[in-house]
Structure 1
Amino acid sequence: MNVNGALEVLDRMRLSNGAYTASVSNDYNYVWIRDVVYTVLPFLNDTSDRYEKAYHALFELFRTYEWKIDIHTEQKPQYLFEYIHSRYSTDLKELPEEWGHAQNDAIGAFLWGVGEGYRHGKKVLRDEHDLRIVQKLVNYLECLQYWQSEDNGIWEENIEIHASSIGACVAGLNSVKMLVNVKEELIKRGEETLRFLLPRESYTKETDLALLSLIYPYRLVDRDTALKILHNVSERLERTNGCIRYERDLYYNEGQEAEWCFGLPWLGLCYHELGMMNKAKEYIEKTKNIIPENWEVPELYIGGSNIPNGNTPLAWSVSLSYLFLTKTKMIRTEQVT
């Protein structure tokens, strides 16, 4: 399998401003902050400027809505539209439709990506203005009291306290605490909530695919907690064409929960992160089985069918599949020899 096909697909979804559209379908022809963070993970260690350009685009987005961030560093949002939105048009403007805008994990993900990029020598920060934006986003999370803030979560659905959202915020704050002022208390509050919640995702969900983010890419939980999360996800959520997001998920459910393709490489990346190479090996073939020849990996397979939905390719799916197969190239080479 030619993994470079993935890069060609991702480049087709790359916008002139440096950001990425989540998919090319009518439903997903938008820019999600979170999707961009995950889409550019493969470029963290390469010599191209794709990583920097994507973050520069997101910084421009935050500059456009800096007035809004300023308000909500002092005044907690009361209505969904007041939150910093997670989804934008391809020219990086807010959309008028009502949406689950309270997605604290997207802000945490962005902060994490800025800090990671900086540590990897990427010129993600262009000037003092970008640094001020980072500080204001930290202050925004403080104003929200993110550690006890109910939000729509990574799947943009039920308003409740989500471990994956709090974890993303903790990871983001840790990532930028050497760049801007982050009160230690801010991080500790989030960690305390996680100790209480994990390995659950929320009061209503015992497990959730989103919890994998706390293992990879955030590397936030200890090994025992990571193993509990992985056990629950693989035992209860893993299917043939991917993973369901959580039990009784209604999205694209035609008698069964939809199977999200990126769940398989994500599980593989988590096992790889823990040094469990034999388990990681199991997911190499599973991942290859969900990658078509043209590398247009779907968002999901409709529940109760063997049919992908229209959000094909999904940038996040392509990215995690490519990342996992390139990270495990050494394992596959050893298998051959």
Structure 2
Amino acid sequence: MNQHKLHSVLESMRLPNGAYVASTSDDYDYVWIRDVCYAVMPYLNSKCTRYEKAYHALLSLLRKYEWKLDIHTEQKPQYLHEYIHARYTRNLEEIPVEWGHAQNDAIGIMLYGIGQGILNGKPILRDKVDLRIVQKLVNYLECLEYWESPDNGMWEENVEVHASSVGACVAGLKAVKTLVDVPEYMIENGANTLNKLLPCESETKETDLSLLSLIYPLNVVTRQQAIQILDRVTGRLERKRGIIRYEDDQYYNEGSEAEWCFGFPWLGLCYEQIGELDKMNEYWSKTMSITPETGKIPELYIGGTDIPNKNTPLAWSISMAYQLQVRMNEMQENVS
């Protein structure tokens, strides 16, 4: 697979405002905070401006809805529409339909991405207003008491305390604590909850694809915890064409759970994170086995088939595969 092909597909989903649509399908032709953060990860160490422009779009979005932050830094949301919304139109406007907007991991990964960008010399914060928004996001998580706050999680589904959400907030708060005021107890409480939950994702899920985020990119677990997570995910969730999100997942389930394409490259990136390069190479090969010649990697293959769903290409899938390909190329160059 040509690296430029994956890059070209990813770029086809970038909007003029700097954000990314999750997919070009009718179902996913929207901007999700989380998906933008994952989509733009390949550009963290790049000289181009795509990384900061994506975060400028997200910060502009939150500036528009700062009034909502003002309310919910003082009182907890009672209804899902009161939370910071998870998805928006291409013009970064809220969508007035019911949705599982309680997604603390999206706020956590955004804070993490801001901190990482600044650490890498990116001009993420344009002015004092951007900095004020970052502070209010911290205050929002404090008001929520995120370490014990049930949310919809990465998959926007059942409301419970999710390890992947708590871990994202811990990593995000650590990433911005040199920029704004982050009470230390917030990080400590989150870390305590995370250690109690792991290696499970939640009370109802002993393992879940979303747990990989705690290894890569968040790097918020110990090596031993990472190995436990990886052993459970590969042992119980891995299938021929991808990784199922969790056991008995009903999304696109036509006799068996849907097999998510970004699971293979994500595992490769996680194994690189813990230094197991043979396993990294193994999952790169598996990624290539399910990547179409066009480079348009789908969201998933319908369980037990080679039929992709309509959310093709998925920006998150392309981003994960692109990041792993860059690392594989770098590794091969170092060997030669």
Bucket of the pairwise TM-score, normalised by the shorter protein: over 0.9
Deviation at 1:330, TM superposition (A): 3.7
Q: What residue in structure 1 maps to residue 168 of structure 2?
A: 168
Q: Which runs of 5+ in 1 are unaligned?
A: none
Q: What residue in structure 2 maps to residue 115 of structure 1?
A: 115
Deviation at 1:333, TM superposition (A): 5.1
Residue 291 of structure 1 pairs with residue 291 of structure 2: yes
Q: What residue in structure 1 maps to residue 238 of structure 2?
A: 238
User: Distance in 2 between the 1:155 and 1:326 partners?
Assistant: 27
SS class of match (2:278): helix
Q: What residue in structure 2 maps to residue 152 of structure 1?
A: 152
Answer with 1-10 or 223-232: which moved more. Answer: 1-10
Q: What residue in structure 2 maps to residue 282 of structure 1?
A: 282
Q: Check conservation: 1:18, 1:50, Cα contact below 8 A.
A: yes
Q: What residue in structure 2 maps to residue 304 of structure 1?
A: 304
Q: What residue in structure 1 maps to residue 54 of structure 2?
A: 54
* Change in CA separation of 1:333 and 1:47 when aligned onto 2, cut-off 3 Å: closer
User: Distance in 2 between the 1:239 and 1:326 partners?
Assistant: 25
Q: What residue in structure 2 maps to residue 273 of structure 1?
A: 273
Deviation at 1:334, TM superposition (A): 7.2
Deviation at 1:331, TM superposition (A): 3.8
Q: What residue in structure 1 maps to residue 325 of structure 2?
A: 325
Tell me the TM-score normalised to structure 1 length.
0.98
1:276-306 alpha-carbon deviations (Å, 9 max, x no partner): 1111111121011121121100000011321
Amino acid of the structure 2 residue aligned with 1:304: G
User: Distance in 2 between the 1:325 and 1:240 partners?
Assistant: 20
Amino acid of the structure 1 residue aligned with 2:197: L
Q: Which runs of 5+ in 2 are unaligned?
A: none
User: Distance in 2 between the 1:182 and 1:25 partners?
Assistant: 39
Answer with 201-210 or 287-296: which moved more. Answer: 287-296
1:233-264 alpha-carbon deviations (Å, 9 max, x no partner): 01111111110000000000000000000000
SS class of match (2:189): helix
User: Distance in 1 between the 2:328 and 2:235 partners?
Assistant: 23
Residue 23 of structure 1 pairs with residue 30 of structure 2: no
1:113-160 alpha-carbon deviations (Å, 9 max, x no partner): 000000000111101100000000000000000000000000000000
Q: Check conservation: 1:281, 1:331, Cα contact below 8 A.
A: no
SS class of match (1:281): helix
Q: What residue in structure 2 maps to residue 200 of structure 1?
A: 200
User: Distance in 2 between the 1:267 and 1:125 partners?
Assistant: 32
Deviation at 1:33, TM superposition (A): 0.4
Residue 68 of structure 1 pairs with residue 73 of structure 2: no
Q: Check conservation: 1:161, 1:202, Cα contact below 8 A.
A: yes
User: Distance in 2 between the 1:322 and 1:7 partners?
Assistant: 7
User: Distance in 1 between the 2:7 and 2:304 partners?
Assistant: 31
SS class of match (1:61): helix
Deviation at 1:332, TM superposition (A): 4.1
Deviation at 1:209, TM superposition (A): 0.3
Q: Check conservation: 1:299, 1:312, Cα contact below 8 A.
A: yes
User: Distance in 2 between the 1:251 and 1:80 partners?
Assistant: 21
Q: Kindly report structure 1 stretches of 4+ aligned residues shifted beyond 6 Å.
A: none
SS class of match (1:328): helix
Q: What residue in structure 2 maps to residue 97 of structure 1?
A: 97
SS class of match (1:54): helix
% identical aligned pairs: 63
User: Distance in 1 between the 2:36 and 2:50 partners?
Assistant: 11
Amino acid of the structure 2 residue aligned with 1:151: D
